Structures are given as structure tokens and as C-alpha cells.
A and B are shown apart, each in its own frame.
Chain A
Amino acid sequence: MRLTRRGLLGTAGAGIAAGTLPARALAQDAESGKRALLVVLPLIRADYVGGFDGDSGTDTPNIDRLAASSLRFDRVIPECMPALPVRRTLVTGMRSFPFRDWKRTDGMPAVPGYNPVWDWQPVMMETMRAGGVDTVYVTDNPIVDGPRFGRVVRPGGATGSNGSNGIKDEIAAIKRATAAAERTYRAGIRELRGMSGFVGIDPFDPVDAVEAPPIYVKPGEVEDEGIGPMNERLVEARWDSVDELRSAYRDHVEAVDDLVGDLMNEVDDDVFVFMLGDIGIALGEHDYVGRGTPTSHRESYEIPFLIRDPDGRKSGDDVDWYASTHDVAPTILSYLGLTIPGKMWGEDLTALLDDVDEDDLYDRPFSITASGSLIMVRDKRWLMVADREEIERRMYDDDEEVEDDITRFEDVANEDTGQLTDMSLAALAVAGGTLPEFGPEGALRPPPERADDDTDDDGIPNDFDAVDNDEPDDNDDREALGYDGRDAEDRQASGDRKPALP
């Protein structure tokens, strides 16, 4: 048996006879015959799916059936939002949070997160192809384009523009998501016949790449309920009833479920299936409407997320570990027996299939995500929404012991500052130590603090400054700096011009 380094089914080798092969095993070429399928459910909230204990009354028999035979992740929110940045994360396996790499890109909205996959980022499909795995990716996502992404199938299809006129436009957007799912799954089904290697089926309406979805709030609510300085996506809109919106959304979920049924009929039992939603949607809860919206309503973030193992490992199990979108690429690569590029930051979730307990996965105490210039940190009980500088932070408490819903609306940031600090520090830690600030063109680097860096004011930083010794020396670097053998006072005394930096 050729062990993959990830697939550690064996027990600890107790007695090691000298001369046996150390079975570290790392397959350069993927294990032959293994097949993996990635399916993205567009705009599906976990609480609208029965298989994820949803109680919204939506009928989702197909996803439920798959969930019942899969390892299910119950507390997943995408590690960044909305739809376009999610997909950068999916294919790179790198966290897009906190959008430090954002640079304003032509043809894309000036919202942090909206940029292509950079050429210094790893790409899942590229790693697969280097390991000899055929790949097909079915999507209309314009950033999945180029030789690194392997074969890309474009379902194509007409799209309208996103409007920002409130509920009606939001309903239209939901319908576009349904349409994108329909044409993408149909095209995907064609690719599934005779499938080998990896197939990704990712419904995406191209309009999501050129327009950031609006965040609707009721007039006057911004000040009361506002979450820091909102970015341009915030739109005030008035609505009396969200029944029509929710009804349209239920139709969408059920339509996608039907399509999943059709799709799964074409999937063989020996295919590893990774299925997840991309972003959630706020449907008027807590007075927010919008896709991938920073809201105080926790269910608006959660997406379905499941792994079906062909060998049935962990079938029907569920875990609470805070998996997210950046875990997808490492997990699929690991399943295929490929080495995960170091820059991918996600965890290899096949560990769970190999009987590693969720408590023994690498610790991830919070779900941390970003949308535009806001960040959200969440665990089972708390939800923090903060602006980039963490100046304005709001925290909501979902204490299951408390029966009323009031604390979920009320900002309790000042009531448990320790919790708030923990969550802020967690976001900072994941961001590497600082959260970026954004200018109109991209993430900013603060101006240098010059202070007394150049104490003798000769234009040369102290670090590079010549030492006071008037003998010529063999230091070429100093000569390159224009050092003329005299120290600063001498030069000033003789009225010389300061030497220019090279």
C-alpha cells in the first residue's frame, strides 16, 4: 500500500526493524483513480437546508440526503465575503481575509477583496495538474481564467445588472443566482460523464465580479444599528414586509436542491464530494437585507459545508469545528494524495475522516471573516462586528440559556470587554499582527515615522551614517553613499552641501 502522508490509517509502528522502508509517504503523483468533485451552492444559507437542522420549512430532500451520508460541518462561515473574494479563497487555499493584497482593479468595484488571483498565490488546479490530475472547472467566474486554472468550462448566460433599489432588486439577484446554478449545473453534468481527476462546479453570475452587492438598511437604522463607517455598499431602503423576499429565497433554495438532485444522480459512489455554499444572505433579519452582508444576525453568515467520502468514513457525523472556505483546497489536494503548497493556510480536513477528533484538529477558536472594510469574529455564542481599525466594535450575545432574542439585537460590547478583546486579538493574530487600512487604490502602508532617525540631519539615516573618523577606509558602501571622509560637523562647518543619496 502506498501511503499518502495525509492518509494515516495505520497504527503507530511499534517495532521498527532496521532496514524497513520509512513509510513517509508523499506521493508526488496523485494516487491513481481517485476522483474529487467540488460543488458550490450559490447563495445558500445553512438554516434553509433541512439537512443542516434548518427550520425554515424549505424542502431540500437532495441536499439532505447527501448530508446524511456525509461529514457535516455545522458552524461554517466563509472566511471572507462576498461572492468574488470567496472564490479567490476557494481556488488558492489562502486566506483572503483581511484583504491586505487588495489593489483596485479595472472592471471591478473599489471594494477590498475585489481583485484577481495574483500570480504569487498558489492555485489548486495548478497543483493538481502538476501532479498529473485532470481538472475541469465549470464556472462563469471571470477571475478563473488563464493557464494556471487548467481547463475551464463557461456555461455562459445572460446577466443583468445588479440594482440597488431595495427588495425588488434583491429578489432579482436571487433569481439570477438560481439561473446561474441551473446553467452551471447543467454544464457540470456534462463534465461529470466520464469524469476523471477533479471537477469543480461553481455557479457564479459574472455581474458579481463587477458590482459589489449592496447592503440594505432601513433609514435611520444606520446611526442606531450601524456598524462602523460603512463602505460604499451601504444603501438605505425602506421595506414593510420581507415575505416576498423570503418566499423568493425559499424558491431559490428549493430550485438549487432540485438541481443538486440531478447533479448527484450523475456522480459515482467512488467520487469524493466537497459541497459548500459560497455566502449567506440577510433576509430582513435585524433590519438587514443583502448578500454577504455584515450583520448582527448570525444565521445570515452560515453556509452548508459537507464532505462525502467514497469509503463512507464519518458518514452522517457532524462537527462544530470552525472550518471555512480556505480549507477546501488543502483538503481536496490531500485527498488526491498531493502535497499541499505551503502558502495554503487552510487545514487538511481529511484528518477528520482519518478518525482525528475535531478537538484535536488545529485549534481555531473563532470564525473570522471580512466583508469589504469590516471584520466579523464569531464563536458559538458571541458575534463581533468591527471596522478595520477596531475603533467601532459591536458585539452580540447569543446565549442559548437566555430565551428571549433581545441580546442578539443589542450591542453588548461594553458589557464584556474581555471577550471583546479576545475576539479582536484573534482577528489581529490571523491577520498577522495588524489589520490593513485601505485607500482608494488599495491597502495602505502608513507613512514612516522619521523622528530622530537622522540625528545629524545629513540626509543619511543613522544606520547608514558614517562613523566619525576622518581616515579613508575600505568601506565601499560608504563611498557609495557619498561619504567623503569627514563627519557631519566638519561638513556643516565648511558649508558643504549634504551628500545626496544614491
Chain B
Amino acid sequence: MGLTRRGLFGAGAAGTAALGLGACGDDYFEPSTDHGDDAPNTLLIFTDSTRADYIHHYNPDPRNKTPNLDALAKDSLTFSWAVPEAMPTGPARRALLTGVRSFPFRNYVPTEGLPVGPGWIPIPDFQPIVTEVLGEAGVETAYCTDNPFLIGPRFGNFRRTLDWARPSYSQGAYRFLNKPFKRPATRSTVERYLLPDLSDSVEVGRLRAMAGWNSIYRDSDRQYPTARVVRSGINLIDDLKDRRPFFLGVDAFDPHEPLDAPRVYQIAAGSPKGIELDGITPIQPFETPYSWVIDVDVDDETIERVRELYAAEITFADEWIGRLMNRLADENLLDETVVYFMSDHGLTLGEHGILGKHAARAQWHIYHVPCMIRHPEGKRAGETSDYFASTHDIPRTILSFMGVRAPGQMNGEDLSVLFDGGEPPERRWFTSCYDDHLLAGDRDWFMLADSEGRLKRLYDRRSDPQELHDVAADNPELVDQLWKVLEDEAGGTLPQFGVKSGKAVLGG
């Protein structure tokens, strides 16, 4: 018997009780376990690259408006210290869907069809998937996303667990994962987005693909990626409202770069400045995943404009999240649905001399993400928890709310206890990893180290909230303690990554 535990077809097929006829004895439509009586529905809203400090609820002085997320926060228990257990997009999604920590990427093997770097693997066959567990318990499961990895070839095992899969192929920037459309725009079309220093970079091709896609498929705000995902979500609510309890995931790839919110949002976020005055809108101001500011030669005004463009993306996402929540309210589902909102990582916008996201610069701009859970009865509405909630806690919490047993492998904590006056088991430090870098910290201290442990940088958040000044030399004991925290969290040893052949794991 091999390791493949999931059937090739249908949700919840694996190991279903022999209730049906046929040679294999599986009945795909018969739940094999059960969910709780009157289990609430789940609405999981996930956005990529969303920094907490661009949301008004997290930052009293943000540069943009997020009225809908603020309203959601007011109804929710908000986590002021949510840190994804592993980053970026791929590993964070894996933890979000499996409930199994991706940290410390011990099982990494370079995989075709995914970026090269520790953490970028598909969901392994032996890991549970929350939608599969829910499906086996008779919950209707749906997911809509334009995330190019989730709709790409390596996450097919996840999509097969769904009753309703609504991929949205609108992230033209990742055309290589986005087969239906193959007609890039001309070079001249993208000149108005291209920074001079990126004019012979891979971003040219990405922008051409994006512009080509947009010219055909984007004629109004409603056709922007986030809008398309949320409209799928709204349609799904219509489909699911008579099939309760349901799980609905709405997972938008924006505000990922390119920072191309509709023009009205870009204007509302601020007036053109910097390089935009020369006719270039810096929607892709770096070569994904990152560029040094001095390499792309942008001035402070342009960086300011980049931040505004990013803020415009978040405001646009906020607008559509609001529409989604309104539909939930219109259908009278708010009081029987648990709503989760979270993101997988942030984005560095000129801080640390970086635009984009760089593992060696994964300071709070990257690791501090929003997270909120709205209880159907309004329990703990408007309150804040400083628990280090993380992506892998979400599946267990969802299962617990729905009264479904979580597989033991799901090693996140059940956050639903917070709504019953309890506290999850103590998590003294947050730990995370990004490519071959490791993160650990608490509210006062933050350590960022390469996985070999050659360069461990420590920041005193109390005196240096921007995490700019390395004080590791002054606090060697704390550095050692945090390194041990990482080792313990990894089960005793940290994996060692090679530097050749895609940084494959050497052992440990």
C-alpha cells in the first residue's frame, strides 16, 4: 500500500466507509464522520501580502481608509500579534490548509512548477487538508481564489477536496502558472509601468502578461482580481446558503504586486509624485520578490507613491470584503457563521532599503499580519488578544467551531477556547521562517537569523520598533535563548539547507 491516502476524485473519498456498492466500496457522497449539531458555517477571508499597519484598526494613523475591515474588527476578536508560522505565500497557504506547521521546512525538496527555495512544496500526501476533513464530516466546502499557486498544478490535491472550486485566472503577472491566456501586451504598452532600472528585467514579461490580460478581461472595477474573487465568493454564498453548514474560503492574491488598484483608488490614496510625474506609475517598483532601493534608483517621493499605491490596493480589497460581508448579512448568515480574516505576510515598502520581500529583511513589515475572528454571537467583539496566533491555528479552530475532530497531525492550537473564557496553551515566543531564514521573538524582542546561524540579528522592539538596529552583540544570552527556542520548536534540530541544487535539505 502506498502513501497516497487521497482518492483521485471527489471530496472526502479517502477511506470512506464501505457503504456503497461497487468494487472499491466507496460512496463519495456519504459522510464518514460527523460535525456538531447546529455547526456554524465558516467564512475564511485571506488576502496575500497584507500588512497590519495599513489597516486602521491596527494603526490609528494609517495612510488609507479600511472602513469595512475596521467594522469587521469591531465585531471580532482581533489578534494584535499574529505572525504566520512560515512564509511566504506557498508555505503559509500550506499551513492554512493543512493545519500542520510548515516550519522549519524540513521536508523541502525543489519542486517543478513552484518557486525554488525552502518551503516551496505542494501539500504532501500524508498531511491532512482541512477541507477534506470537513468534507468527510458532511460539511459543504467551497474555495475561490486567484492565487496562482493554489490554482496551479501543484495544489491539485487541495482542489480535489472541494465541493465547489472556483479558480480565478486573473493574476496575469504569473502567466507561467496561468495557462488559459497567452497573449502578452506589447512592450510599449508597459513602458508606463516600468522603472528604467527594471527595463531589462523579468518584470517586463510579467507586466506584458498582466497588461495583455487586463486589456481583454478588465473593463471595470468589477474585473479586478480581488473583485473577481469576491464576486465568486458572493455567488458561492448563494449556492451554499441552502447547504449549511458550509466552509467558504475567499482567498485573494492582491494586494500582491503589481500594485494596480483601479485608478480612482490610486488617486484617492494620493496625488502623483516622484517618478509618476514623469509618466511612470510605479505599480511594480521591484523585481519580484525584492529589489534594493538603490538598485532600482527610486527617490523618496517615488517610495511614498509606492506606499500609496499599496494602500490603494488594500482599500480596494477592503471595499470588496465589505460587499462580501454585506451579502452574508443579507442572507441572514452572520449569526451562524464564524468569519476569519488573516494574511500570509506583509511587504517591505522602502524600509530597510528594500522594496518587496526579502528573507534576510523579514522584519515586522513582513511578519506582522492582521488576524481576526468574528464569533457569530458577537462574543468578545471588539476585544484584542495578544496571543501569537498563526496560520496553522486556523484549521484546528475551524474544525473545533464546527464540532469536527481535528487530525492529530494538525499541530496548531484551537483558538476557539478564547471565546469560552479560556486561553490556548502558552506560546511564549512566536517562531517563523522564510526561505532559509528563521524568525523568533516576542513583544519586546525580535531575532532574525539565517538558518545556518551565522548571522543572528536581534532587535529591541521597545526602543527600536522599526527593527533597524542590531543589538545581538549586547545580548548574546538572549540570542542563544531564541536560537534554542527555534531548535525546540523544530523538534530538537534545525534542518540544514544546501546552497546548491535549489537549497535542498542536507539533513538535521
Contact = CB atoms under 8 A, between A and B. Distances in A.
Interface of A: 3, 5-6, 8, 10-13, 16, 18-28, 99-103, 118, 120, 122, 127, 326-327, 330, 334, 339-348, 351, 354, 356-357, 359-360, 362-363, 365, 379, 422, 425-426, 429-430, 432-434, 436-437, 442-453, 461, 463-464, 467, 469, 471, 473-478, 480, 501-502
B3 interface: yes
Contact of B417 (A28, A343, A362, A453): A28
Given A339-B417, A433-B107, A451-B500, A8 B34 contact: yes
Given A24-B36, A477-B361, A480-B469, A8 B403 contact: yes
Pick the 10 closest A-B CB pairs, nearest first.
A433-B107, A101-B492, A475-B353, A433-B106, A28-B422, A22-B40, A360-B32, A100-B492, A445-B508, A10-B37
B411 A342 contact: yes
A46 B494 CA distance: 38
Contact of A429 (B37, B124, B400, B403): B124
B39 A23 contact: yes
A327 B407 CA distance: 11
A259 B503 CA distance: 57
Contacts of A101: 488, 491-492
B425 interface: yes
Contacts of B392: 342
Contact of A467 (B295, B401, B410, B417): B295
Mostly, the B contact residues are: loop
A362 B3 CA distance: 13
Interface stretch (B152-160, B205-213, B232-240, B449-457): B449-457
B352 A475 contact: yes
Interface string B313-338: 00000000000000000001001101
Contacts of A429: 3, 107, 124, 126
A346 B393 CA distance: 17
Contacts of B31: 12
B268 interface: no
B39 A13 contact: yes
Interface stretch (B12-20, B74-82, B172-180, B276-284): B12-20
B408 A347 contact: yes
Contacts of B361: 477
B335 A8 contact: no
Interface residues of B, number: 95
Nearest to B409: A345
A20 B33 CA distance: 23
A481 B506 CA distance: 28
Interface of B: 1-3, 5, 14-18, 31-40, 106-108, 124, 126, 128, 136, 138, 244-245, 292-295, 332, 335-336, 338, 352-353, 359-361, 376-377, 392-393, 396, 400-414, 416-417, 420-422, 424-425, 450, 452, 454-455, 457, 468-470, 472-473, 485, 488-489, 491-496, 498-500, 505-508
Nearest to A326: B408
B500 A461 contact: no
Contact of B499 (A21, A346, A449): A449
Given A26-B414, A100-B491, A342-B412, A476 B469 contact: yes
Contacts of B38: 13, 16, 20-23
A326 to B, nearest CB: 8
A8 B407 CA distance: 15
B499 A12 contact: no
A363 B124 CA distance: 14
A360 B15 contact: yes
Contacts of B295: 467, 469
A383 B248 CA distance: 43
Contact of B2 (A22, A422, A473): A422
Interface residues of A: mostly helix, strand, loop or mixed?
loop
A362 B508 contact: no
Which of A12, A13, A341, A348 gathers the greatest number of chain B CB atoms within 10 Å?
A12
B124 A477 contact: no
A442 B491 CA distance: 12
B123 to A, nearest CB: 12
Nearest to A452: B499
A436 B492 contact: yes
B36 A3 contact: yes
B360 A464 contact: yes
A5 B417 CA distance: 11
Contact of B245 (A16, A365, A467, A502): A16
A421 to B, nearest CB: 9
A222 to B, nearest CB: 27
A351 B406 CA distance: 10
Contact of B293 (A11, A24, A339, A473): A473
A434 B469 contact: no
B495 A434 contact: yes
11 contacts: A3-B403, A8-B403, A13-B245, A16-B245, A327-B408, A360-B33, A362-B408, A429-B3, A432-B106, A446-B507, A463-B359
Contacts of B421: 28
A6 B294 CA distance: 56
A160 B316 CA distance: 74
Contacts of A22: 36, 38-40, 336, 338, 376-377, 401
A10 B36 contact: yes
A359 B15 contact: yes
B492 A18 contact: no
Given A345-B411, A453-B499, A24 B505 contact: no
A409 to B, nearest CB: 24
Given A8-B403, A342-B413, A436 B493 contact: yes
A98 to B, nearest CB: 9
Most buried by B among A340, A346, A443, A444: A340
Contact of B409 (A127, A362, A469): A362
B39 A24 contact: yes
A193 B403 CA distance: 35
A478 B353 CA distance: 9
Nearest to B507: A446
Given A26-B400, A434-B495, A477-B468, A16 B414 contact: no
Contacts of A447: 496
Contacts of B2: 365, 422
B294 A473 contact: yes
A120 B488 contact: yes
A346 B408 contact: yes
A443 B493 contact: yes
Q: By CB atoms of chain B within 10 A, which of A99, A118, A360 has the most? A: A360
A480 B458 CA distance: 12
A11 B34 contact: yes
Contacts of B417: 26, 28, 339
Contacts of A379: 1
Contact of B416 (A26, A448, A463): A26
A3 B200 CA distance: 62
A474 B300 CA distance: 11
Contacts of A343: 411, 425
Contacts of B485: 120
Contact of B377 (A21, A99, A357, A501): A21
B32 A8 contact: no
B294 A449 contact: no
B95 to A, nearest CB: 12
Contacts of A461: 450, 454-455
Given A23-B36, A24-B401, A432-B106, 4 more contacts: A12-B138, A461-B455, A473-B293, A477-B352
Contacts of A21: 38, 377
A452 B491 CA distance: 29
A444 B493 contact: yes
Nearest to B359: A463
